[in-house]
Amino acid sequence: MAADDQPEQTPARGAFLLPNALTTGALMAGFFAIVSAIGGEPVSACIAIMIAGLLDGLDGRVARLTGTQSEFGVQYDSLSDMVSFGIAPAVLVFTWTLDTLGDPGTVAAKAGWLGAFFFAACAALRLARFNTQAGVADKRYFQGLASPAAAGMLVAIVWFSDDRQINPELMSWPLLVVTILLGTLMVSRVRYYSFKAGPRGDRVPFAWIFLLLVLLVLLAIDLPAVLLTVGILYVLSGPVVTVRGRNRQRIRRRREGDRS
């Protein structure tokens, strides 16, 4: 049979239900966060983004465990992430404080919405780069701060500030700087632990279970404060991991140079 006579492969119809249902739930949570932020309910928006993060962490794992991974799911998950961890946190931080930077039409007012847009645009760039490097990147690390982590950092700051009844106007300029910094980290080459390369098999060290217990107790005591602390530690861990990795490369190169 000639090559031209071979039947064309038809694309698979339909999509796997369970992982895409979780992705849809995350997308819905992200959309609800936007609605809540616009409606002046920042805590509800924060909770919705956190729920989106939990569902986003589940859909991929469920797809791998059930053997229902697909290119459709990958693209759908990326679009959902853009809404939940790009647009939603940008709208949240703008409606909560960045729109108070100055009177309409002033440079300060423009800096507010441009800072929120910068974060959303960096999230889009981060997701696009992740999709193109998914097959070749080291799964132990993220190149740049992951968009759910960046969104979680903004959520933690807003939630903690609202819980402590801090005036949003006092947080406007500091949070503008943090928003731009988080956006820059997303598109940077700073490496962050991905936590995807966990222990092999079903068993984990006993210390992991103990640490999980301690974390759950702390979250029950003061959820906003613990989230903020964990977020700060993770964001700062990236530069530390990157510097250590580069130092190791320099030492390895020196040793190879001495041997040669």
CB 149 within 8 A of CB 235: yes
3-state secondary structure 202-230: CCCCHHHHHHHHHHHHHHHHCHHHHHHHH
For 107-127, how does the pLDDT look when each residue is reduced to its tens digit (9 = 90+)? 999 999 999 999 999 999 999
Q: In this structure, how many other beta carbons lie within 10 angstroms of the beta carbon of residue 220?
A: 9
Long-range contacts of 176-179 (CB under 8 A, 24+ apart): 176/98, 176/101, 176/111, 176/112, 176/115, 178/153, 178/154, 179/90, 179/93, 179/98, 179/115, 179/116, 179/118, 179/119, 179/154
* Residue 42 · residue 108 · CB < 8 Å: no
What 3-state class would DSSP assign to 93? helix
Give domain status of residue 7, yes or no.
Answer: no
Categorize the per-residue pLDDT at 238 as very low, low, confident or very high, splitting at 50, 70 and 90: very high
Q: 11 in a domain, yes or no? A: no
Q: Which of 72, 80, 75, 35 is nearest to 54 (CA)?
A: 80
Domain annotation covers residue 10: no
Does the pLDDT value for residue 74 go beyond 70? yes
**% of the chain beyond a pLDDT of 70:** 87
Residue 90, burial from CB neighbour count under 10 angstroms (0-12, 13-18, 19+):
buried
Q: 234, 244, 137: which is closest to 192 by C-alpha?
A: 234
Residues whose CB is less than 8 angstroms from the CB of residue 62 and which lie 6 or more positions away in sequence, other chains included? 18, 19, 22, 68
For residue 227, being part of any structural domain is answered with yes
Task: Provide the number of structural domains found in the chain.
Answer: 1
Q: Hey, CA dihedral for 108, 110, 111, 112, is it positive or negative?
A: positive
Greatest CA span in the chain, whole angstroms? 75
pLDDT in tens, 9-66: 555 555 567 888 899 999 999 999 999 999 999 999 999 999 999 999 888 778 777 7
3-state secondary structure of 139: coil
Task: State how far the Cα of 64 lies from the Cα of 59, in Å rounded to an integer.
Answer: 9
CB 45 within 8 A of CB 83: no
d(CA 151, CA 88): 8
- Residue 168: inside a domain, yes or no? yes
Query: Residue 21 belongs to what domain range?
Result: 17-196+205-259
CATH number of the domain encompassing residue 233: 1.20.120.1760
> Which DSSP letter does residue 68 get?
-
80-90: pLDDT as tens digits: 999 999 999 99
Say if 39 falls within a structural domain: yes
Would you say residue 9 lies in a domain? no
